[in-house]
Amino acid sequence: MMITTTQGAVDLALRPPQDRTEWQAIHTLRRRSLFAGEQIYRENHPDDRAGDQRVLTLVSGGEFIGTMRADLSHPVWAAFRLVAIAPYRRGHGYGSAMIRMAEDFVRERGWRRVRLHAVEEAVGFYKRCGFHPVSWDEPSRIEKCVDMGKSL
């Protein structure tokens, strides 16, 4: 899909990781950007392989740009998890493009609502993507988070 970023028009794809190198890029980005501090990151976490989970990579040509996981385990809402853009690509529109593409991904599979646990620093980003705070009883591994949702 052609997306206009502040770095010009780029051809982006959001798809499952295709090889070991892409999985390593996912693990490295998650570990550095989402599991800083004392949280332990497990590369072999069973959620990544579960049948109702879709680990996705955002790629442009051969370049790894970012990652997220679409959780399709709930019948009413899809959950977006472990959302991250590579540090050197942030601030150019890739994150919002990934969210738009992920919304298409889950909509095509029948979901009409999305939820996520946003870290405080990302709340502004998700608001720009059309999310708003919601009440959600699912606990989060993030200590200070804002639960957010969006209808598709």
Ligand X SMILES: CC(C)(COP(=O)(O)OP(=O)(O)OC[C@H]1O[C@@H](n2cnc3c(N)ncnc32)[C@H](O)[C@@H]1OP(=O)(O)O)[C@@H](O)C(=O)NCCC(=O)NCCS
Which chain residues interact with ligand X by CB under 6 A? 33-34, 83-85, 90-96, 118-119, 121-122, 124-125, 128
- Minimum distance of ligand X from residue 90's CB (angstroms): 3
- Minimum distance of ligand X from residue 111's CB (angstroms): 19
CB 114 within 8 A of CB 77: yes
Please write down the HEC assignment for all residues of 101-126. HHHHHHHHCCCCEEEEEEEHHHHHHH
- Minimum distance of ligand X from residue 3's CB (angstroms): 10
The number of C-alpha atoms within 13 Å of 13 and in the hemisphere containing its C-beta is 10
C-beta closer to ligand X: residue 55 or 84: 84
C-beta closer to ligand X: residue 51 or 58: 58
